[in-house]
Structure formats: C-alpha cells, structure tokens
C-alpha cells in the first residue's frame, strides 16, 4: 500500500524546514503569507493530514470501517440503511465499529478519513459511472471497496448486484410471455442527473435482451406520481395486454394500475426490480437486488483486504440476478423458449 505522507515530505515539497511546516499548522509562530501558501499547496498536492504519519504506524488498527454514503438526501439514506445494517452486523462480529461519512465531501472525505487514520478500510456507496473518488482511492494507504462498478474501475475492489443481468432477465421474461413492446418505468431525471453507474448497466442488459427477442423498449423516466400515471396510460394505449418493467416507484405504479382497474397478472404483465420486500407483500414477479447478500459480500472483501487473505487486489464481483415468479404475470405459453431467467434457475437446481 502507498505510504502515508509525513510532515517531512511536505517540507521537502514546499522547500522549507520541517519545523516551519509544524509552525504553519500549529500557528505557534508568525509565518509569512508566501511561505504559508507554499506549505498549504504542498499539503494539498500530497493529500497530507496532520499526524497521519504518526498514527499510521505499522500494524496500527483502528477497529473501524468507514462507510461513505449520502446522508443529506433522505430518500437515498433510507434506501441504503439496509446495507449499513448488514455492514454493522458484520463489523461487530469482527469487533469493529462503523463510521458513517457524508458523501458530500467527495474525494476530500476519503483523504480525510484515511489520512487521519480514522479507519482500517473504506466502503464507498452510490458510485457514479464517472466517479471523482476513483483516482483518490487508488492512492490511499487503506483498502477501499466500491459498492458499484465505475467505468474506470481497473485495479479497484468493486462489488455490486448484477444490474446488467437484471435488465436482461426482466425483458426476457416479458418477451417470453409474447410481448413485442415493453414499457419500462425507470429512474427519474433527478436520479439520472446523479450519474449512478447502475443505470447504464441495467439499460445495457435490457437492450441486449430486447434485440435478441425483437422487442421494442419504451423508456419512461418517473420522478413523480404523474410521470408514473402517464407511463401506465401510454402502455395501455397499445393493443393487447400491456407489459411493464418497473424499476422504480413500484407502489405508485400499482396504485395507478388499481385506479385504472388493471389487475397485474390478468390485464397487465408486471415484472419489477425490487429489494425483495415489496414483492413479498404484493406477489410480484420480480428480480431482487439482494442488498443483504451484496452487503455481506462487501464485508467479506473488506476484511479479506484488511487481513491480507486475498491473493490479488482489485477486480469486480457481482451478485447474480435471478427471477422469482409471482402473480403479476400471466401463465407462460407452452411453446415459450427458455430465456436467461430459466437458464439461471436450471443452473441453480443442477
């Protein structure tokens, strides 16, 4: 792992004595503005944190895992708490605590918790396709595990649910029911604007399945209940039984269908991407994102890195997507060809 920079490194970078660096940081002696600026710029370039060198001694452990997640966005924080719950359980089994770090700090937050030796490892959530934290993570002296797959993830430790596989399984299931058009009630403009990596991955899988089955996809970005109702109306305007792939706003979609007296599994075929809880309550045919399984695998990777048990660093690990059939889809035609969902279930049974 890269060695944490020391005050001596800062002194060499700034062309001053180590005592001058100390005085700049402590304020115990007057230092010219020019010299102060040179030291500050050296600290920024080296991502030095006060006392990092003294605290990052060989073998030093904090018994703390830092989890970086958005804390100010209520919707995101609530959705991610199931992950944090599992992280905490796994950490406590190893006599570790969890430190929540707001994602608002960006790359500076990673440098802060690593540079001050506040943790033994860092877990980064809500990863973007083009994530500014990637390059910073490569240079830190503690292990970093990304829950997500950034585009430039080479050499990083990444783990996530297989969103690409989920898109393929969902569209293949609806195609197997004989649908030639599938309306996708997808993430809203507000979510797309944040650039999360799982959206293009899901899209790629769905579009691949659509090409293979000669299915037309119609994408609807649902930020509000009105967006959902509009998507449902567009879907039912087509001839025949509509097909809905629902990846967000599941309660709103079911409510819109109920208002229009469309019963899933009879008047409309619905396959949802869920965390597992909604499907159990409503009997949906679904693909679960398996957040608890993802969380456990993340922590296995984290402690493997801390303990040095892993033969190699880096690489992406995906928790596979599988379909659970419920009452929201009709019976399948007897001559329906097996799709990815069936193939996956056959492998599990063998």
CATH of region 64-161+293-319:
3.40.50.2300
Superfamily of domain 163-284+326-349: Response regulator (3.40.50.2300)
Q: In this predicted structure, what is the pLDDT of residue 49? A: 65
The residue with tokens 């001058």 is: 20
The domain limits of the chain are 7-48, 64-161+293-319, 163-284+326-349
- pLDDT (average), residues 183-211: 94
User: Using CA atoms in the order 129, 133, 134, 135, what is the torsion angle rounded to 10 degrees?
Assistant: 140
Give Cα 147 distance to the centre of its chain. Answer: 4
94 neighbors 303 (Cβ within 8 angstroms): yes
Kindly state the tokens that stand for 157.
């430790």
Residue 64's DSSP bridge partners are 97
Does the structure show a pLDDT above 60 at 314? yes
Half-sphere exposure of 165 (CA within 13 A, CB side): 17
Residue 182 CA to residue 215 CA, distance in Å, equals 7
Q: In this predicted structure, what is the pLDDT of residue 100? A: 92
Confidence tier at 334 by pLDDT (50, 70, 90): low
Percentage of the residues of the chain whose pLDDT score is greater than 90:
55
CA-CA-CA-CA torsion sign (337, 267, 217, 275):
negative
Q: What is the pLDDT of residues 247-260, one digit of tens each?
A: 988 999 999 999 99
Does the structure show a pLDDT above 50 at 294? yes
Residue 317 CA to residue 87 CA, distance in Å, equals 17
Give Cα 320 distance to the centre of its chain. Answer: 15
What is the chain's mean pLDDT, rounded?
Answer: 85
- pLDDT (average), residues 4-33: 81
Lowest mean per-residue pLDDT among 155-169, 204-218, 263-277: 263-277
Task: For residue 235, give the nearest of 248, 245, 223, 226 by alpha carbon.
Answer: 245
Confidence tier at 18 by pLDDT (50, 70, 90): confident
- pLDDT (average), residues 303-327: 85
Does the structure show a pLDDT above 90 at 238? no
Q: What is the pLDDT of residues 138-148, one digit of tens each?
A: 888 899 999 99
Residue 226 has a CB neighbour count (10 Å cut-off) of: 11
CATH of region 7-48:
1.10.260.40
Q: Please, which residues have CB within 8 angstroms of residue 92's CB and are 6 or more apart in sequence?
A: none
Residue 231 CA to residue 176 CA, distance in Å, equals 22
Q: What is the pLDDT of residues 30-80, one digit of tens each?
A: 888 888 888 888 887 887 766 544 444 444 678 999 999 987 665 566 778
User: Using CA atoms in the order 240, 242, 243, 247, what is the torsion angle rounded to 10 degrees?
Assistant: 170
Angle 130-134-137 (CA atoms, 0-180°, nearest 5)?
A: 170
Same CATH fold, 163-284+326-349 and 64-161+293-319? yes
Q: What is the pLDDT of residues 159-191, one digit of tens each?
A: 999 999 999 999 999 999 999 999 999 999 988
Angle 91-100-273 (CA atoms, 0-180°, nearest 5)?
A: 80
Lowest mean per-residue pLDDT among 39-53, 79-93, 96-110, 230-244: 39-53
Q: Which residues of 278-315 are buried (b: 16+ CB within 10 A; e: fewer)?
A: bbeebebbbbbbbbbebbbbbbbbbbbbbeeebeeeee
Residue 123 burial by Cβ neighbours in a 10 Å radius (0-12, 13-18, 19+) = buried
Residue 180 has a CB neighbour count (10 Å cut-off) of: 14
Does the structure show a pLDDT above 70 at 313? no
CA-CA-CA-CA torsion sign (96, 100, 106, 109):
negative
Residue 222's DSSP bridge partners are 187
Confidence tier at 346 by pLDDT (50, 70, 90): very low
100 or 52, higher pLDDT: 100
303 neighbors 290 (Cβ within 8 angstroms): no
């Amino acid at each position: 792992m890269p060695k944490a920079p020391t005050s001596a490194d800062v002194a060499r970078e700034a062309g001053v004595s180590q005592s001058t660096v100390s005085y700049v940081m402590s304020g115990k002696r007057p230092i010219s503005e020019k010299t102060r600026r040179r030291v500050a710029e050296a600290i920024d370039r080296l991502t030095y944190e006060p006392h990092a060198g003294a605290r990052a001694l060989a073998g030093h452990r904090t018994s703390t895992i830092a989890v970086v997640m958005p804390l100010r966005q209520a919707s995101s924080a609530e959705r991610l708490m199931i992950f944090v719950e599992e992280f905490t359980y796994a950490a406590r089994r190893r006599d570790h605590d969890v430190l929540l770090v707001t994602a608002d700090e960006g790359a500076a937050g990673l440098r802060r918790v690593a540079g001050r030796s506040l943790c033994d490892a860092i877990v980064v959530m809500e990863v973007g396709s083009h994530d500014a934290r990637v390059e910073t993570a490569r240079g830190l002296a503690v292990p970093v595990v990304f829950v997500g797959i950034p585009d430039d993830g080479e050499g990083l430790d990444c783990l996530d649910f297989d969103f690409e596989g989920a898109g393929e399984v969902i569209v293949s299931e609806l195609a197997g029911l004989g649908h030639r058009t599938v309306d996708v009630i997808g993430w809203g403009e507000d979510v797309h604007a944040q650039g999360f990596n799982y959206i293009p991955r899901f899209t790629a899988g769905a579009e691949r399945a659509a090409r293979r089955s000669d299915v037309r996809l119609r994408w609807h970005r649902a930020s509000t209940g009105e967006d959902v109702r509009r998507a449902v109306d567009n879907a039912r305007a087509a001839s025949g039984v509509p097909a809905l792939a629902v990846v967000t706003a599941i309660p709103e979609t079911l409510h819109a269908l109920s208002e229009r007296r469309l019963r899933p599994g009879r008047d409309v075929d619905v396959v949802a991407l869920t965390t597992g809880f909604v499907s159990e309550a409503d009997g949906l045919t679904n693909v679960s994102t398996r957040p608890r399984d993802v969380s456990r695998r993340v922590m296995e990777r984290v402690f493997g890195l801390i303990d040095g048990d892993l033969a190699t660093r880096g690489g992406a690990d995906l928790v596979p997507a599988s379909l659970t059939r419920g009452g929201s889809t009709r019976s399948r035609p007897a001559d329906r060809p097996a799709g990815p969902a069936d193939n996956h279930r056959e492998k599990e049974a063998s």
